[in-house]
């Protein structure tokens, strides 16, 4: 289990960020990510590599992936999904 920034620093895109795959620690205010079933290693400099488009649960999917882009940046995909989860938490 690890944080999202640490994953990206190590060249891993989670590709399935959603509440079910996040563990929250209220005391230390820490979020850990779990379930790396569709995660993937990536090269930060290779922006032309194509990835599968069937990633992330639909309601947490970034617009570019939702509309079929296969050359997405996994870091941005994960951050979009985390933002959706945060918005859900703040609005109830």
Residues 48-92 pLDDT 10s: 778 887 888 889 999 988 898 888 888 888 999 999 998 998 998
- 3-state helix, strand, coil split of the chain in percent (to 5) is 35, 15, 50
Q: Tell me, what's the pLDDT at 43?
A: 79
Number of Cβ within a 10 Å radius of residue 14: 28
Distance, CA of 79 to CA of 26 (rounded, Å): 21
State the chain's mean pLDDT as an integer.
85
The domains of the chain, with CATH numbers, are: 4-36+53-91 (1.10.510.10)
Does the active-site annotation cover 78? no
pLDDT tens, 23-56? 888 787 788 889 999 898 887 777 677 888 788 8
Confidence of residue 2 (pLDDT cuts 50, 70, 90): low
What percent of the chain is modeled with pLDDT above 90? 26
Question: Which of 9, 16, 43, 69 is an active site residue?
Answer: 16
């Amino acid at each position: 289990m690890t944080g999202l920034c640490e994953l990206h620093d190590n060249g891993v895109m989670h590709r399935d960020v959603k509440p079910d795959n996040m563990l929250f620690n209220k005391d230390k205010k820490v979020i850990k990510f779990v379930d790396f079933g569709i995660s993937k290693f990536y090269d930060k400099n290779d922006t032309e590599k194509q990835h599968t488009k069937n990633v992330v649960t639909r309601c947490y999917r970034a617009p570019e992936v939702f509309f079929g882009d296969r050359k997405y940046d996994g870091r941005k995909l994960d951050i979009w999904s985390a933002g959706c989860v945060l918005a859900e938490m703040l609005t109830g």
